[in-house]
A and B are shown apart, each in its own frame.
Chain A
Amino acid sequence: MSSQCGPILDSLNEYVRQLEGIREAVFSTMVMVNEIPAPTFKELNRAKFLVDRFSELEMLNTSIDEKGNAIGILPGRTGDNDILVTAHLDSVFDNTIDHTVTLKPNVAIGPGIGDNSLGVAVLGTLPLILRRIGLELDSNLVLLGSTRSLGKGNLEGIRFVLNNYKRPLISALCLEGIKIGRLSFSSIGMLRGELTYKIPELYDWTKFNSVGAIVDMNDMINRILEIPLPRKPKSTIVLGQMEAGTSYNTLPTKARLRFEIRSESDEIVSSLASRINYLAEEMTSKTGALVKFNKIALRKSGGTEFSHPLNNIGRNILNQLGISPRITPSTSEVTALIDKGIPALTIGLTDGENGGDLEESVFIEPISKGLAQLAGLLRAIDEECSKEH
């Protein structure tokens, strides 16, 4: 860490104290964000809300771009550099889910509240947060609520911005509601795919003695689990979602299995995908059902080194706040930034539970530390003590 960063670390506890007073602005924004449903590809209403917030805070160039991203610029004193701060707008919950939030003294509960309504809310109140601690940056802050991040969205929103933003971005911070302590500065290789199983309409059940889609896909799952995975580089196959069948006594003719291959090595991702594709072709030939392998999303591995100054200051800030850093590779926004060679960190803002459930929750007390962490990092980037020399 550069010695320049010392004063930043010394300021953190005071930031935490001062930012206690801004929490209700963050909470109210978080509640309103969460209660606007925003499944991937349907984020427009949430984006409008965020852009309105940006405009109310008198930011510049507030707009919604052609991919639906919400963008605003908080001008710096000199404006020589641009720093990107981003939070994804979309959530995994459908429009039809009850999105209302319950707010208790210590916890807020609602579907998607941690992933990523809190992150969006902090983005929407960031000018107030900086004002509260009297922090004026030289750099411009480019605030981005990105769309089409999850699942089939495949980071389309942030990639569009990175491909079309006209000025260089010196660094980027990606905000996630939970969990505080998380630091992601590298991406692992990832392939997100699905296997679809369909029995042709003319298929003769009696002739082939078929057992239907569920049993065949169960066999497929067993075959996937038999694929040997190397211990190094670390690799895994996550079987995330399965759909099949309609009732107790009807043989299912369709099934869908969604999975994700992750590895520190791009070659292994590719090799595992080939193995699964082979299994699909083999099942097609054996059963007469049409089993297709569809590639949904792909990420390359990469990132900055553990010892990169931005990552060093990220760890030092957390340690100063009394929080143990947890270094985790990511497959989210930070990977799009890594692809572009932009030093980037994903940080968590508070603790929480039940991620991905209807009862997802964020804890209120740690949020002040999460905000102080963000302010410290922005200051470190702005003062260039997070920069490689």
Chain B
Amino acid sequence: MKINDWIRENTYHHSAFADLKTLVEQKKTSGLTISLCIPTLNEEKTIGKEVVIFKSEMMKRYPILDEIAVVDSGSADRTLEVASSFGADTYLSAEILPGEGSKTGKGENLWKAIYQLKGDIIVYIDADIKNIHPRFVYGLIGPLIFRPEVSYVKAFYDRPLTFSDSIRPSGGGRVTEILTRPLFSVFFPELTAIIQPLSGEYAVRRSVLETISFPVGYGVETSHLIDVYQKHGMKTFAQTDLDQRVHRNQETRDLGKMSFGIIQTFLRRLRRHGIINSEGDYPTVLRQFQAHDDLYETIEWNIPEYERPPMITIPEYRKARNLSPN
């Protein structure tokens, strides 16, 4: 499939799904259930607003969401208390599937949500969005409700309703444009059509989610795209423009850590799919530098990108969903 053709046929603006009455009717017809998962770590400033808006607008006013869950990595602040006070179901990631142990990272929360949440579709939305709005939900689930062949809808952020006739650059953040898209261009050119591959907001059918593995750290979004692409091709993806996303900016040093995690995930997949041949483990230590007056010193960060296996392979999950044992 040509990339521009794919973009034309599978790229939406959230306003295409703003007729919520129709969306509710179509959801009823389809018989699908939808869960929202908000992974958190110290998000007390923004979590209350997200929960209130989604619960009030997307559950009570329009019964689109069947469940709103906050899955927390062990916040030191009042994230869970605030979320609970506004009516979300709250879970500590470590207490879900305790037999599988506990890892640190957002991907761990996303993975455990597959077990804990009930929906046929799970919508993942980060907790640090300052300008949260119902469009973050309806824009992502719209393509899944109306197009059965689509299983994975990714968010991107732009403002096409106000564009002029001139060409404007459109794309992702720094890590996307410096690392991820160049890598996709070399190894998986079709995936370059995903405008913001690292965005933390996406909606996915359970039937797809349960079959892919989950890096627990920075590589989870990249691994999803590669694995789903390898299994199902571009026809299973769509993407929706959610306009602007106001959030806190990350320091360049933190982006370095993110890039390091993504590279590990990428290399592992290249090897798994036979694209590169190499043996042995890659180093998991990232080195950065800092200066004290005239003295330069190395800081070492150990960033192992541990991966959770596909949830469908976990016996407790199979039992909970009445699937035959492996």
Q: A residues engaging B (CB < 8 A)?
A: 24-25, 27-29, 31-32, 35, 56, 98, 100-105
Contacts and interface: CB of A to CB of B under 8 A. Distances in A.
A102 B56 contact: no
Given A25-B61, A100-B130, A100-B131, A105 B81 contact: yes
A103 B81 contact: no
B317 interface: no
Contacts of A100: 130-131, 246
B28 interface: no
Contacts of A25: 56, 60-61
B82 A104 contact: yes
B106 interface: no
Interface stretch (B42-50, B218-226, B253-261): B42-50
Contacts of A101: 49
Interface string B36-61: 00000000111011001101110011
B87 interface: yes
Given A27-B52, A28-B57, A105-B81, 18 more contacts: A24-B52, A24-B55, A24-B86, A25-B56, A25-B61, A28-B52, A28-B56, A29-B56, A31-B53, A35-B131, A35-B133, A56-B61, A100-B131, A100-B246, A103-B48, A103-B86, A104-B44, A105-B48
Contacts of B45: 102
Given A27-B56, A28-B53, A28-B57, A102 B46 contact: yes
Measured as residues with beta carbon below 8 angstroms from the partner, the interface class of chain B is 20 to 34
A102 B48 CA distance: 8
A27 B82 CA distance: 14
Contacts of B133: 32, 35
B85 interface: yes
- Those 6 A-B pairs whose CB atoms lie nearest each other, nearest first: A28-B56, A103-B48, A103-B49, A100-B130, A105-B85, A24-B56
B53 A32 contact: yes
16 contacts: A24-B56, A24-B60, A24-B86, A25-B61, A28-B55, A28-B56, A31-B49, A32-B53, A35-B133, A100-B131, A101-B49, A102-B48, A102-B49, A104-B48, A104-B82, A105-B81
A350 to B, nearest CB: 16
B82 A24 contact: no
Interface string B240-270: 0000001000000000000000000000000
Contacts of B55: 24, 28
Interface string B61-75: 100000000000000
B57 to A, nearest CB: 6
A105 B52 contact: no
Interface string B142-172: 0000000000000000000000000000000
Contacts of B85: 105
A25 to B, nearest CB: 5
Interface string B122-153: 00000000110100000000000000000000
Contacts of A98: 246
Contacts of B61: 25, 56
Given A100-B130, A104-B82, A105-B85, A31 B246 contact: no
Interface in B61-113: 61, 81-82, 85-87
Contacts of A28: 52-53, 55-57
B266 to A, nearest CB: 35
Contacts of B52: 24, 27-28, 31, 103
B53 A105 contact: no
B256 to A, nearest CB: 28
A346 B303 CA distance: 60
Nearest to B133: A32
Contacts of B56: 24-25, 27-29
Contacts of A102: 45-46, 48-49
A278 B265 CA distance: 78
Nearest to B55: A24
A28 B49 CA distance: 8
Contacts of B60: 24-25
Nearest to B54: A28
A105 B79 CA distance: 11
A99 to B, nearest CB: 9
A40 B208 CA distance: 50
Contacts of A105: 48, 81-82, 85-86
Nearest to B50: A103
Nearest to A100: B130
A100 B57 CA distance: 18
Nearest to B20: A56
Contacts of B53: 28, 31-32
A100 B82 CA distance: 18
B47 to A, nearest CB: 9
Interface centre among A28, A35, A103 (most CB of B within 10 A): A28
Contacts of A27: 52, 56
Nearest to B60: A25
B87 A24 contact: yes
A110 to B, nearest CB: 10
B90 to A, nearest CB: 13
Contacts of B57: 28
Nearest to B47: A103
A25 B59 CA distance: 11
Contacts of B46: 102
Nearest to B132: A31
Nearest to A53: B61
Contacts of B81: 105
